Amino acid sequence: PYSTLDDFEPLSTIGCGSYGTCKKIRRKKDGKIYAWKEMDYGSMTESEKQMLVSEVNLLRELRHKHIVRYYDRIIDRSNTTIYIIMEFCDGGDLATLISKCRKDGIYMEEQFVWKMLIQMTLALQECHRRKNGKAVLHRDLKPANIFLDIDKNVKLGDFGLARVLHHETSFAKTYVGTPYYMSPELVNNMSYNEKSDIWSMGCMLYELCSLHPPFTASNQSELNKKICMGEFNRIPIRYSSDLNEVIAKLLRVEVHRRPGIEGILRDPRIQRQQQLLE
């Protein structure tokens, strides 16, 4: 039995995104708190709507402690709006955390970075090893899409929906910002694959440490060049060479030299940190 709009009470608006509004909501029957994303499908084509439906169905299957849990969707035909109900993450997101650190001039604890690294890897493992063979690629890994719960555990969010809605107008909107995390293979117009998610994760971890992305430039072609050269400064010396080396591995330009998820989890440095976390 699907939920209905009447089952929930909107509490506050969390933010407005490129596709709609995200609200904090309460389920009336038990007072439980969730978030929902409201999206108007009124201007979507039939095939875009089909993609949206299959995407939401896929999200419902992704159940992992480090992935934002999607619970249900409600379709309101009277105002052509779909409401996607998901876990509410009250610890903010990594983008906010990074800007706060930059503003205050403080670096994150090394232990926190390892925790982010391991938990993001576990979340991606769940996506990349889908049973029926088809990996779920995130395609939009960036600090703003990594949420934290109250105990500062990773909740990977904002999946696929971005991809569904990447029809021309929204796609342009999505990339109003500079795509600092674009992998070399994407720069070279090759297709997106699991290793591209790994590259983006490397960029994200680098930024967590350095408080700026590994590759920066004032225009796209200069950025593309830097990404394909693959040269970057060491993360600040306060961080161990173990951490520096692991991040550098994720940022290897050649796809075949860059580890996949299983390769990351086999790295003895990662395994050591994983034991510390338990």
Report the C-alpha gap between 127 and 121 in whole angstroms: 10
Report the C-alpha gap between 179 and 55 in whole angstroms: 24
Stretch that binds Mg ion, among 55-63, 154-162, 205-213, 254-262 (CB under 5 A): 154-162
- 137: tokens are 């690629």
Least gap, CB of 166 to ligand ADP (angstroms): 12
- Distance (Å) of CA 136 to CA 15, 52, 132, 166, 188: 26, 15, 11, 16, 22
Q: Which is nearer to ligand ADP, 155 or 258 (CB)?
A: 155
Site for ligand ADP in 194-213 (CB under 6 A): none
Least gap, CB of 35 to ligand ADP (angstroms): 4
Q: Which is nearer to Mg ion, 138 or 195 (CB)?
A: 138
Among 8, 88, 206, 215, binds ligand ADP (CB under 6 A): 88
Q: Does 38 bind Mg ion (CB under 5 A)?
A: no
Beta bridge partners of 13: 23
Closest-CA residue to 214 (of 187, 245, 181, 260)? 181
Kindly name the residue from 93, 140, 158, 197 that is annotated as catalytic: 140
Which residue carries 């796809």 as its tokens? 255
Among 55, 72, 158, 194, binds ligand ADP (CB under 6 A): 158
Annotation marks residue 140 as catalytic: yes
Among 8, 25, 37, 51, binds ligand ADP (CB under 6 A): 37
Q: Does 91 bind ligand ADP (CB under 6 A)?
A: no
- 212: tokens are 């700026």
Q: Judge whether 213 and 181 are in contact, CB under 8 Å.
A: yes
Q: Judge whether 27 and 34 are in contact, CB under 8 Å.
A: yes
Q: How many positions of this chain bind Mg ion (CB under 5 A)? A: 1
- Which spans of this chain sit near ligand ADP (rule: CB under 6 A)? 14-15, 17-19, 22, 35, 37, 68, 86-89, 93, 144, 147, 157-158
